[in-house]
Amino acid sequence: MSGDGTTDEGRTAPGDGAGGGPAGNPSHNGGKHRRRKYGRNRGDDGSREESMVPRAEFQSYYGRPVLKPPVWEWKIPAYLFTGGLSAASTMLSVGADLTGRPGLARTGRVGGAAALAASMYLLVADLGRPFRFHHMMRVAKPSSPMSVGTWILIAYSPGSMLAATAELLPASLRGTLPGRLLRFAARPAGMSAAVFAPGVASYTAVLLAQTAVPAWNDAHRELPFVFTGSAAASAAGLGMVCAPLEEAGPARRLAAIGAAVEIVASRMIDRRPGFVTTAYTTGHPHHLRKASEYLTLGGALTALTLARRSRVAAAVGGLALMAGSVFQRFGVFEAGVHSTKDPAYVVKPQRERLDARKREEAERAAEASQE
């Protein structure tokens, strides 16, 4: 209401003589009497009075979003992929080393370290300045997923890099004392990295789910399973591409398990009740995630059938699994960005929760009156 006694739309406010006479006198209201009917009609929120004001549209000031969209670029979803690939590859390499599969162990160690280096580059590049990552190491805050994830990554990196260095050691240095010590340390180093690998594969899902982005926050229960399953499938795909067929059995089994976890958890997101789910099931994010599902399912089926006997089929299936993981990360990322640009993803869930609370209160009041 403005200072001259009028509302924002320019109508005279009630109680100021509207309708040509004193307020509250129906005889001066254009010759028409108004009657309020109580107890007959109910409003949209379940109250006893019918609202005379139409429900608001999903709009914001000057068409701006209610939430500020994430400023992250493509580097962040790429970082999500490479971090998960590194963690799952490290775990696969430890199992291969303990069961006498040197080719698969070498693939996991070297691939995991390469993916770790790529993820660190992508993270620092997105931060803009390298010293910002250094500043993140100056603080340890258990209540912050970003801080916890940073320290998990720091604890994971040395073991992964040391195990990969032992695999890449030139033949001329392997017989020397430093070379023998490095090769001896490769197994415990890999096992130490494997202890932190599950956290590296899943902490990014927790980080996204703890934000105010509607699509990420709404799927906070399913995202960790989507990310860990996707990480396992991508690492299995790398093993199928690079490891010998006779040693790639664990990778093929991991491909089936990871793909099943990823697809089931992703479908659970799609079937969640509520309006926010449409951020995943419509538009560009839906196309990315649907492509991911087809590629992941095709790669898993190939791993269980043709990849056992055909080197070409194993390579094709492995690449499909890795591509499916990439599409999954970009699809989840794009769904979150989309949900911040449309005010409906913020306003409508809040309204649904408010209406549900009012219905519960009305039901409790009705039960109390009956007693």
pLDDT category at 301 given cuts 50, 70, 90 is very high
The pLDDT value given to residue 212: 86
pLDDT, greater one: 29 or 336: 336
Establish if 107 belongs to a structural domain.
yes
Mean pLDDT, residues 66-79: 82
Q: Which amino acid is at 257?
A: I
Residue 168: pLDDT over 80:
yes
| Least confident piece of the model among 100-114, 164-178, 194-208 | 164-178
- What percent of the chain has pLDDT above 90? 56
The pLDDT value given to residue 60: 56
- What percent of the chain has pLDDT above 70? 79
15, burial (CB in 10 Å: exposed 0-12, middle 13-18, buried 19+)? exposed
Contacts of 66 (CB under 8 A, 6+ apart): 60, 343, 346, 347
Q: What residue has token string 């970082």?
A: 79
DSSP secondary-structure letter at 7? -
Establish if 303 belongs to a structural domain.
yes
* Residue-range definition of the domain harbouring residue 304: 75-339
Q: What is the mean pLDDT of the chain?
A: 83
pLDDT category at 289 given cuts 50, 70, 90 is very high
Residue 347: pLDDT over 80:
no
* Phi, psi for residue 259 in degrees, rounded to 5: -65, -40
Tell me if 296 sits within 8 A of 325, measured CB to CB: yes
Residue 82: pLDDT over 50:
yes
Establish if 369 belongs to a structural domain.
no
Q: Which of 133-137, 156-160, 336-340, 342-346 has the highest mean pLDDT?
A: 156-160
CATH of the domain at 244: 1.20.1630.10
The pLDDT value given to residue 202: 93
Establish if 346 belongs to a structural domain.
no
pLDDT category at 131 given cuts 50, 70, 90 is low
- CA 335, 336, 340, 346 dihedral sign is positive
pLDDT category at 133 given cuts 50, 70, 90 is low
pLDDT category at 123 given cuts 50, 70, 90 is confident
Q: How many structural domains comprise the chain?
A: 1
Establish if 291 belongs to a structural domain.
yes
Helix axes 223-242, 283-304, angle to 10 degrees: 50
pLDDT, greater one: 80 or 65: 80
Distance separating alpha carbons of residues 307 and 300, to the nearest angstrom: 10
Establish if 21 belongs to a structural domain.
no
- The Cα-based distances of 64 to 60, 138, 251, 277, 349 in angstroms read 6, 36, 48, 22, 18
Mean pLDDT, residues 104-127: 92
| Least confident piece of the model among 16-25, 134-143, 174-183, 244-253 | 16-25
Establish if 19 belongs to a structural domain.
no
The pLDDT value given to residue 51: 53
The pLDDT value given to residue 68: 73
Q: Tell me the pTM.
A: 0.77
Of the candidates 195, 202, 190, the residue with the CA atom closest to the CA atom of residue 84: 202
pLDDT tens-digit map of 38-69 = 444 444 444 455 555 555 555 555 456 666 77
Mean pLDDT, residues 69-88: 90
The pLDDT value given to residue 33: 46
Establish if 162 belongs to a structural domain.
yes
Mean pLDDT, residues 128-150: 72
The pLDDT value given to residue 107: 96
